[in-house]
């Protein structure tokens, strides 16, 4: 169905995401069948009364039989994997990025900006986390309201003004409102299952499979349908791997446009979103984060053969969309403000100064001498009692 307007685009994106997740889950079973076919190809068969490599159709039927027996175990294993990720994915992400939860007392500026956005739309306040990294980036995680969390890097906090930080927080809140976070976390988990099964199959085949098949001669192992079965199985595994990347790519790319527009809807400030993207552009790398975490970020600057399917549209394309549909103004690439060294020196000086004495703390003689009460200086021990505010005390 055609989508018209922001909300119908969101609903269309959700339907498409659910369909893609179902397809991603189905790839797990294709991987299991490919593994069964490889196992049959490397196993000796008593065919026509002697051990030889049977034809391809026999191996496919045997692999299908193995698949039926293995499918329940694959389903249970995948569900257990998802449940583990459901419970511990935030702890694993924090371990990778070094992020920590912060309170209002620790980060009042950031906390107040996020709280104001949540109050304005009646959104449950997510947990706020900070990763002490110089890269300019942010991402949202969680699978339900109790788990939702927004992580912001220290570099982004220090480099963006309040309006730009608010726009970034609005972007991540939109991911939570649209269900993108839940979808992407599940997609990353299922893709992890596919990668795990694929790696396990290749290890079994290329490290232990040939020894298992050495019970028959090398000519037997390549004869019959075994060679064709191996080629088909490897092709299926490669296809599953590529399709898993494509599905994750499809889940990630469109959602960034919707999150940008959702941020503008929350903040009513398209220029802040544009300037935030321009400052983040090319500066979002988090060295400690793996590719799965970078897919959740507001910008993923990684490129190369391993990232041939970009998970994010370019900043240029996103800015162009905001200018066209939200009426924003593009200032072009922006340089980050140069930090003022005098401010850093002042902070270091303040940190090195000893704390002043309180009303019950220790004071220097100069401080004690300078203390003034409401009716004059503090009395000196042994000195005559001073007069009150209306003159000397009468005898």
Q: Quote the tokens at residue 44.
A: 């000796």
Question: With 80 as the cut, is the pLDDT of residue 93 above it?
Answer: yes
pLDDT at 141: 92
Average the pLDDT over each of 14-28, 68-82, 134-148 and give the range with the smallest value: 14-28
User: Which range in 158-162, 228-232, 241-245, 379-383 is most confidently predicted, on average pLDDT?
Assistant: 158-162
Question: With 80 as the cut, is the pLDDT of residue 52 above it?
Answer: no
Mean pLDDT of the residues in the chain: 77
**Regarding predicted confidence, which is higher, 251 or 62?**
62
In this structure, is residue 222 part of a structural domain? no
Question: With 90 as the cut, is the pLDDT of residue 162 above it?
Answer: yes
Phi-psi region of 268 (alpha: psi -120 to 50; beta: other; left: phi over 0): left
Confidence band of 218 (pLDDT split at 50, 70, 90): very low
User: Which range in 20-24, 137-141, 305-309, 385-389 is most confidently predicted, on average pLDDT?
Assistant: 137-141
In this structure, is residue 269 part of a structural domain? yes
pLDDT at 58: 85
Mean pLDDT to the nearest integer, 177-201: 77
C-alpha to C-alpha distance for 51 and 206, rounded to whole angstroms: 22
In this structure, is residue 104 part of a structural domain? no
Which residues are annotated as catalytic?
172
Percent of the chain's residues with pLDDT above 90? 29
Reported as a single tens digit per residue, the pLDDT across 231-251 is: 898 898 888 888 877 777 766
User: Which range in 11-15, 156-160, 292-296 is most confidently predicted, on average pLDDT?
Assistant: 156-160
Average the pLDDT over each of 137-151, 166-180, 206-220 and give the range with the smallest value: 206-220
In this structure, is residue 193 part of a structural domain? yes
Confidence band of 395 (pLDDT split at 50, 70, 90): low
Nearest C-alpha neighbor of 25 from the set 84, 69, 75, 86: 75
| Secondary structure string (H, E, C) spanning the chain | CCCCCHHHHHHHHHHHHHHHHHHHHHHHHHHHHHHHHHHHHCCCEEECCEEECCCHHHHHHHHHHHHHHHHHHHHHHHHHHHHHHHHHHHHHHHHHHCEEECCCCCCHHHHHHHHHHHHHHCCCCCEEEEECCCCCCEEEECCCCCCCEEEEEHHHHHHCCHHHHHHHHHHHHHHHHCCHHHHHHHHHHHHHHHHHHHHHHHHHHHHHHHHHHHHCCHHHHHCCCHHHHHHHHHHHHHHHHHHHHHHHHHHHHHHHHHHHHHHHHHHCCHHHHHHHHHHHCCCCCCCCCCHHHHHHECCCCCCCHHHCCCCCCCHHHHHHHHHHHHCCCCCCCCCCCCCCHHHHHHHHHHHHCCCCCCCCCCCCHHHHHHCEECCEECCCCCCCCCCECCECCCC
Reported as a single tens digit per residue, the pLDDT across 290-303 is: 877 888 899 988 76
In this structure, is residue 19 part of a structural domain? yes
In this structure, is residue 254 part of a structural domain? yes
Confidence band of 308 (pLDDT split at 50, 70, 90): very low
pLDDT at 3: 40
Number of domains in the chain: 1
pLDDT at 5: 47
pLDDT at 305: 45
| Domain range for 316 | 6-33+71-96+180-201+237-326
**Regarding predicted confidence, which is higher, 311 or 24?**
24
In this structure, is residue 389 part of a structural domain? no
In this structure, is residue 370 part of a structural domain? no
**Regarding predicted confidence, which is higher, 233 or 344?**
233
């Amino acid at each position: 169905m055609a989508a018209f307007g922001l909300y119908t685009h969101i609903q269309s994106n959700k339907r498409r995401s659910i369909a893609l997740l179902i397809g991603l889950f189905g790839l797990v079973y294709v991987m299991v069948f490919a593994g069964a076919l490889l196992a049959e190809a490397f196993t000796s068969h008593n065919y026509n009364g002697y051990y030889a490599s049977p034809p391809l159709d026999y191996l496919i039927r045997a692999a299908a039989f193995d698949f039926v027996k293995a499918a329940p175990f694959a389903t249970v294993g995948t569900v257990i994997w998802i449940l583990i990720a459901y419970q511990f994915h935030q702890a694993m992400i924090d371990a990778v990025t070094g992020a920590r939860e912060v309170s209002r007392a620790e980060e009042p500026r950031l906390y107040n900006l996020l709280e104001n956005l949540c109050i304005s739309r009646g959104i449950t306040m997510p947990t706020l986390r900070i990763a002490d990294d110089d890269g300019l980036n942010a991402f949202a995680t969680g699978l339900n309201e109790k788990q939702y969390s927004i992580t912001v890097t220290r570099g982004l906090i220090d480099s963006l003004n309040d309006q730009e930080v608010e726009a970034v927080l609005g972007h991540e809140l939109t991911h939570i409102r649209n269900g993108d976070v839940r979808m992407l976390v599940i997609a990353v988990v299922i893709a992890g299952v596919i990668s795990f099964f694929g790696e396990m199959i290749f290890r079994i085949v290329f490290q232990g499979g040939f020894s298992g098949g050495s019970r028959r001669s090398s000519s037997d192992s390549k004869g019959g349908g075994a060679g064709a079965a191996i080629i088909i199985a490897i092709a299926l595994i490669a296809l599953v791997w590529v399709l898993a990347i494509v599905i994750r790519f499809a889940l990630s790319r469109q959602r960034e446009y919707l999150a940008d527009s959702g941020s503008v809807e929350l903040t009513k400030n398209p220029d802040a979103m544009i300037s935030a993207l321009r400052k983040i552009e090319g500066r979002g790398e988090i060295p400690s984060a793996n590719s799965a975490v970078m897919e959740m970020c507001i910008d993923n600057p990684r490129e190369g053969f391993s990232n041939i399917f970009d998970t994010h549209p370019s900043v240029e394309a996103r800015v162009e969309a905001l200018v066209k549909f939200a009426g924003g103004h593009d200032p072009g690439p922006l340089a980050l403000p140069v930090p003022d060294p005098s401010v850093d020196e002042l902070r270091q000086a303040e940190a090195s100064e000893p704390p002043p004495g309180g009303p019950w703390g220790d004071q220097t003689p100069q401080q004690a001498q300078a203390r003034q009460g409401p009716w004059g200086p503090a009395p000196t021990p042994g000195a005559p009692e001073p007069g009150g505010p209306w003159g000397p005390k009468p005898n």
